[in-house]
Structure 1
Amino acid sequence: MNIVTYPAPVLRQKAKPLTEINADVYKKAEKMVELMRRVHGIGLAAPQVGWSVRLFVIDVVGNNVDDNVFINPSIMEEAGETSNEEGCLSFPGIMGKVIRTHKIKVCAYNLNGQKIEVVLEDLLARAWQHELDHLNGCLFIDRMSPASRLAASQQLKELEQSYKKDRVPV
């Protein structure tokens, strides 16, 4: 399992809901958590590994796998606003200012099929919103401040050129 980088088309697709939690889903989710930890990320959405389903993993405190997987997630309530630097594993080396909601009430299912409802703030709320955006085909560059987007424009062009070069038939 590898991380897909921008501008791979799967990153712009709206992911499909997961209708069944089976051994394959559990295995893929477990691999996603391992990959996220190996590359020192705090979140990873299924589309970022080429799997277009509504599932993401988040780990900012080192929980076990079952506590890090969120299936068919949604935001139920939002409050406040905050601006902070974000990066993304699908955009190596690129950072930028992004405005997000400060506090959110969320709903999802875990790997046991149990419904989870919790209120999140600060980094966890930011990570949830970032990963949920991935499931909707929205990327953090779409939410960057104009100044951050301009500052990252050369790096984005390099990623686009590298992606095209890797796909040219020989």
Structure 2
Amino acid sequence: MPRVFVQGNPVDHYPRHAPEARHGSVRRITEAGEDVLHKPCRDVTEFGPDLAALVDDMFLTMYIAEGAGLAANQVGVGLRLFVYDCPDDDGVRHVGHVVNPVLEALDPADRRLLDDHEGCLSVPGAVMEVPRPDRAVVHGQDKDGNPITIEGTGYFARCLAHETDHVNGRVYLDRLSKRERKEALRQVTDRRADVHARRFANIEAVEALTS
């Protein structure tokens, strides 16, 4: 069985980090409460060097922050786009990006909800249980405008749903009860400084990270 899928296609070999990260620059990650995270993003209508450069920056920023996915509004750009480098529950690695993602509505009979821990780079340090379907299908385009469909199960399905939420202007805090949200924000208060210190250390090691 292939162990790595890139843009939904199996590959025999793949580096530790997506090659796009080699060309990227680190961007600041926005945090819950900033307007750009709480309103739906605009469709991407122009495909070209600027979009490709944004994808490069997002991959590098995601790796620096030790994330499994990152949406464009998490780096302050209100466009429908996310990148990912995420395993599923079988340990298969999935790497790629989706422009203008749309999460397919699945028949409830063909899915089940999983309660599992979930974090977010824009909610630094907080980890909470969030129910998500165990399967996800996202339709969209690649950075050249070609149509793509990405399917995921388990943890990777969680990633696809989480990132599509972002481009729709939702953070996972919006899926929590008032009590759970208060607990998540308490975790942010306790852990945010440590999270940012680790990211800063990774920035200083950026050459090793992308080698």
Is 2:33 the counterpart of 1:7?
A: yes
Partner of 1:26: helix, strand, or coil? helix
Moved over 6 A (4+): none
Aligned 8 A contact 1:85 1:95 in 2: yes
Partner of 1:29: 55
Aligned 8 A contact 1:4 1:49 in 2: yes
Partner of 1:38: 64
Partner of 1:70: 98
Q: 2:169 aligns with which of 127, 137, 145?
A: 137
Aligned 8 A contact 1:99 1:144 in 2: no
1:118–1:69 Cα change, 3 Å: closer
Aligned 8 A contact 2:113 2:131 in 1: yes
* Map 1:82-161 → 2, pairs under 5 A: 82-145=114-177, 148-155=180-187
Counterpart AA for 1:94: A
Aligned 8 A contact 2:132 2:158 in 1: yes
Aligned 8 A contact 2:101 2:141 in 1: yes
Q: Which runs of 5+ in 1 are unaligned?
A: 159-170
Is 2:79 the counterpart of 1:47?
A: no
Counterpart AA for 2:33: P
Post-superposition shift, 1:105? 2.1
TM-score normalised to structure 2 length: 0.68
Q: Which runs of 5+ in 2 are unaligned?
A: 1-26, 88-92, 191-211
Fraction of identical pairs, as percent: 32
Q: 2:85 aligns with which of 44, 49, 59?
A: 59
1:28–1:118 Cα change, 3 Å: closer
Number of residue pairs aligned between Structure 1 and Structure 2: 156
Distance 2:151 2:184 in 1: 32
Post-superposition shift, 1:107? 0.7
TM-score normalised to structure 1 length: 0.83
Post-superposition shift, 1:68? 1.4
Counterpart AA for 1:75: L
Post-superposition shift, 1:2? 0.9
Aligned 8 A contact 1:36 1:43 in 2: yes
Counterpart AA for 2:153: E
Which shifted more, 81-90 or 114-123? Answer: 114-123
Deviation digits for residues 132-151 of structure 1 (CA, Å, limit 9, x no counterpart)? 11111111011125553242
CA RMSD of aligned residues (A): 2.1
Aligned 8 A contact 1:33 1:68 in 2: no
Distance 2:163 2:136 in 1: 14
Which shifted more, 137-146 or 25-34? Answer: 137-146
Partner of 1:60: helix, strand, or coil? strand
Partner of 1:40: helix, strand, or coil? coil
Deviation digits for residues 71-126 of structure 1 (CA, Å, limit 9, x no counterpart)? 00112242221111111101111111111111122211112222112321111110
